[in-house]
Structure 1
Amino acid sequence: MSTHMDGTLSLSRLLQNASLLQLLMASATILAVRFIARGIYRAYFDHLSGFPGPKLSAATHIPYIVALWTGSMHRYVAQLHHIYGDVVRVAPDELSFIGPQAWKDIEGHVAAKAKETSGSKPHKHWLRYGQAINKTPSLIIQADSTEHGRVRRIFTPAFSDRALKQQEPLFMKYVDKLVTKLNEAIQEDPERKFDMVRMYNFTTFDVMGDLTFGEPLHMLDNAEYDPWVSIIFASIRFGSRLGILNFYPMLYKAFKALVPETFAKKRYEHFQYSVKRVTKRLEKGRDSEGVDLWDLVLKQEDGKGLSRNEMDSNASLFMIAGTETTATLVSGLTYLLLNNSDAMKKLVKEIRGSFVSSDDMSMEAIAALPYLNACLKEALRLYPPVPTGLPRLTPPDGSTICGHYVPANTSLSLPHLAMYTSSRNFQDPLSFIPERWLGDERFANDNRSVLQPFSIGSRDCLGRNMAYHEMRLITTKVLYNFDLELCPESNDWINQEVYTLWQKKPLMLKLRLVQRL
């Protein structure tokens, strides 16, 4: 009897397992059929099916996600544009544009609708920009146009040419300290190798710390990254990969529900660094030593209208946007010059022939150096600090971009590196040739207007002029005082991954102090 019952139970379990297996197989089959059917529909029949691009990228986000995860998005998009032209469907719901009209149509000022166009201007893709920790968005993620305009008007005077002139001693102080620190290290060890990515970062973060909080981060003095800055760098790759969840809302909700409380707590504590620094600066009042951001903001009547949360969120923004990107460009320019000896010789000759001593330099005088400015533009073209561009989204009535009607809820991107290194826009696009910006007839047909590393329109970069002054000043002071030599381990430095920003490797150089009579 027992044996019979055991056999019956075993048979029952076997049938149950078989039924479960059949159910799983049926579910997997249904999901596979749905995946294939949806992919075929997207690639051949949906509202974006008429745009060029690989059918796999039209059918599924998988190629796009792989590129994001591996840090190869800049190469992925550039290759697609090389094959398919000025407009490419890079994902089921995203188009990429590199034509000269794209900047105006996607990010330019809102204008009256032309008769031949349909739809309205696209706006930032707010979902992919994330949320402010203190629930008060900074300028870069402020969706409300009226509020954005109000806050931008308050901060604009602090980044004007007049303000920059007032802040010139602050910039000079830290760039001169960079030169001093390099010189002292050479005196101790003439064969020492320097990671110039670190040295440039130390300088730009110290400058912006003083400008934003009234005191530096002391990174040049300590020759180490401030812990806060180290956290910023460590979070960039994680944040970029985390953005993949935006394509799968259910997974994103599950992540938010399951994410450890310690993660959210650390994010909040990290933001509190800015809060404490702003508090300390405000306690000094307007009589603090020097001229910094808050001296220029708080003396305005409108500046008193800034809420404390607006101060905190924007101070955090300025510390990131005004530092890493500037150091990135100077690092890239240094590498490109060292790999193009003729350009290096011309630039060194211009700089050293224009000033009797380093003390002679001013931001205004340096800004007048034509070959330096051409070198900066060429570096911005070949090594833009934000190589992949930032996403926009078409409104409910769609948009007309470069003559194409683009339906509602379509992501749009202007990939800087792909645009700037395309043979459709530039002659000899992968070569570092500053002369293309100085009227050389070989490059008369270049679409130079596509170079917009600071964007255009009402949401262009507020700190553009400051960035140019700082980049020029660092480059000029370093090349005036030192001869540079690229170390063999950095020969392939520019071949980097991208997670929104370049994942820069150490740029190892040897420096020799220039001997003058």
Structure 2
Amino acid sequence: MELHFLAGSILIVLTVHALFVLVRTVTLAFNPDLSKIPGPFLSTFSNIPMKTAILSGRRTTYIHALHEKYGPYVRIAPSEVAIADLEAYRIIHRVGLDFNKAPWYQGQVPSQYNDETCGVFGILNNKTASYRRRLFQTAGTRRIVAEREPQIHGFSDVMKWWTFMASDVTGSLAFGESFGNTRTGERNELVRDIESMMPFVGMRAELPWTKPLMDTIPAWCFGSLNSMWTCVQEYGKDAVRATRAAQQGGSKTLFSKMMLEDETEQMIPDSLIEKEASNIIVAGTDTTAMTLTYLTYAVLRQEMVKPKLIVEVNAHSERPTWEELEKMPYLNNVIQETMRLYPAIPGSLPRIVPIGGEKVAKYVIPTGTQVSTQAWTFQRDPEVFESPLRFLSRFNPDRWDNATPEMKEHMMVFGGPTRMCLGQNIARLELLHAVSKLFRECVNITLDPSTTEESMEMVDYFAIKPKAAKCLVVRG
């Protein structure tokens, strides 16, 4: 009798729960405001199509295809709307408004983190983030980065060498010495962890219920995601220790401006600086390396681009300064066009609609809805960029000779105005030096026959990477 009673009780609970889920799903699906926004029928009731695209590394291109079919507003999940409208972008990312980051940003890190204990990248509340950014942005100002310019030089070759270079530069800036990847030709632990963890980080953020699985099951042969994340955090701690040691020796690292000799007088503790250092180390390695990888590929597959670039870089000194590099118009055009076509972070920047909802264009988007904009779509707008994807003209550095205000405003490679990437000056300087050095010293390089449009097809788990995970070049 008791067993039957227990089974009956469980059945009742499950039935009530199923009815609750059904009612909630139907209510959300037929929300009078959201139901006006076009999109795939299945996406009205389920996020399965979106999650499938995400887990296969196709979120960005999947959403872009939906925009091409349905227009600038697309309902991509029951409570998520993708937007490719500049006026809406201005509203969502306007300084002072309360479109806070979506919980997705904290889904990538261990669950014990919140706005007070995570790095600025994961802080959801804009006001909290603004305060933290004021404390940390001094490390990324042009003046401070310029002081570190002697530590930034470029190397040439395939994707792995750009990754080695980017990690070595990060090591020099953060710790005062290189990791030595370019010298040894071997991946150090940091590079291995970053390469291994990115797909799992994306899965953990998109499918929160997989967190226990991701935390315990070994990822390839490098341990669980938590153990890899712990290793990356240790690099942040090392950066703080190196900075303190450098201060005692009268030298500096990238984080010197954040830290006082007396820690008790600092506005934030070393523990938070360690987290910010970890974020910078990860973000500064993968994104810069992939931008350089796609730049190499794009330049070498266009016959007219490389000769012009070589002529320009050879017309200047062998070790040009930042100021000299920024006065090379074609070099800067090549970098800008690469970031337009191949933004390192191409996909969605999810935000939550604040209390009261928001009217954008002809739609009213309810409170709590997740809205997102992506650089990939804005930077391919044919009404702004002439022939943005036509085969021989799609990579066209010359288009930036006469850049319109609309072209500049549609470039969103470093994020929105309220949460702009703090490391953009570092990235910019690194790109300028690396590209200049490559095409000065390796004038005869060409793409290996194995490097094709298919092998370079993008997969994205927040940051992009070629499908073949390599970009081979050969000396002519």
Instruction: State the TM bucket, normalised to the shorter chain.
Output: 0.7 to 0.9
1:188 is matched with none
Distance in 2 separating the partners of 1:263 and 1:377:
34
Instruction: Please state how far the C-alpha of 1:380 moved relative to its aligned partner.
Output: 0.9
1:435 to 398, 418, 421: 398
- Whichever residue aligns with residue 432 of structure 1, its letter is F
Which has the larger share of helix? Answer: 1
- Where 2:395 maps in the other structure, the secondary structure is coil
Aligned counterparts of 2:426 and 2:411: Cα–Cα separation in 1:
18
What is aligned with 1:160? 141
Aligned to 2:349: 390
1:395-414 to 2 correspondence within 5 Å?
395-402=354-361, 404-414=363-373
Aligned equivalents of 1:293, 1:137: Cα separation in 2: 20
For residues 405 and 113 of structure 2, the distance between their equivalents in structure 1, rounded to whole angstroms, comes to 48
Task: Give 1:496 deviation, angstroms.
Answer: 2.4
Verify: 1:415 aligned to 2:374, yes or no: yes
After superposition, residues 26-175 of structure 1 pair within 5 angstroms as 42-110=28-96, 121-130=98-107, 131=109, 136-172=117-153, 175=154
Q: CA deviation at 1:476?
A: 0.7
Contact 1:160 1:465 in 2 (8 A): yes
Distance, in Å, in 2 between the alignment partners of 1:244 and 1:457 is 25
Deviation, 1:318, is 0.8
Relative to structure 1, is the Cα distance of residues 171 and 394 closer, same or farther in structure 2, using a 3 angstrom cutoff? same
| Higher Rg of the two aligned structures | 1
1:257 and 1:428 map into 2 onto residues whose CA distance is 45
Residues 1:312 and 2:296 are matched in the alignment? no
Looking at both structures, which has the greater relative contact order when contacts are Cα pairs under 8 Å and sequence separation is at least 6? 1
Task: Tell me how far 1:226 sits from its aligned partner.
Answer: 1.0
Q: 1:497 aligns with which of 449, 459, 467?
A: 459
1:469 aligns with 2:429: yes
More deviation in 256-265 or 38-47?
256-265
**Distance of 1:27 and 1:271 partners within structure 2:** 43
Are residues 254 and 102 of structure 1, via their aligned partners in 2, closer, same or farther at CA, if it must alter by over 3 Å? same
SS in 2 for 1:89: strand
Alignment-derived partner of residue 440 in structure 2:
480
Per the TM alignment, residue 446 of structure 1 is displaced from its structure 2 partner at its CA by 6.0
Report the aligned-residue RMSD. 3.3
Give the Cα–Cα distance (whole angstroms) in 1 for the partners of residues 381 and 126 of structure 2.
Answer: 33
Distance (Å, rounded) in 2 between the aligned partners of 1:45 and 1:158: 46
**Aligned counterpart, 1:297:** 258
Q: Which amino acid aligns with 1:377?
A: Q
1:134–1:309 Cα contact (<8 Å) kept: no
Alpha-carbon shift at residue 418 of structure 1 (Å): 2.1
Q: 1:107 to 1:228 in 2, by over 3 A?
A: same
- The one-letter code sitting in structure 2 at the alignment partner of 1:123 is N
Structure 1 residue 439 displacement after superposition? 1.6
Deviation of residue 286 (structure 1)?
4.6
Residue type of the partner of 2:130? G
Amino acid at match of 2:48: I
Match of 1:377 in 2: 336
Q: 1:288 to 1:200 in 2, by over 3 A?
A: farther
Residue identity opposite 1:472 in structure 2: L
Q: Residue in 1 aligned with 2:473?
A: 509
Unmatched runs of 5 consecutive residues or more in structure 1 = 1-15, 111-119, 180-193, 513-517
Shift of residue 164, structure 1, vs aligned partner: 2.2
Asked if the contact 1:121–1:399 (Cα under 8 Å) also holds between the matched residues in 2, the reply is no
**Amino acid across the alignment from 2:290:** T
Q: CA deviation at 1:33?
A: 9.2
Q: 1:406 to 1:166 in 2, by over 3 A?
A: same
Within-5 A mapping of 1:166-315: 166-172=147-153, 175=154, 178=155, 194=157, 196-246=158-208, 251=209, 264=226, 267-289=229-251, 291-298=252-259, 304-315=266-277
Letter in 2 for 1:332: Y
SS in 2 for 1:400: strand
Q: Distance in 1 between matches of 2:16 and 2:38?
A: 30
Cα 1:448–1:148, aligned 2, differ >3 Å: closer, same or farther? closer
User: Is the 2:73–2:81 contact (alpha carbons within 8 Å) kept by the matching residues of 1?
Assistant: yes
Cα deviation, residue 344, structure 1: 2.3
Q: What is the TM-score when the length of structure 1 is the normalising length?
A: 0.78
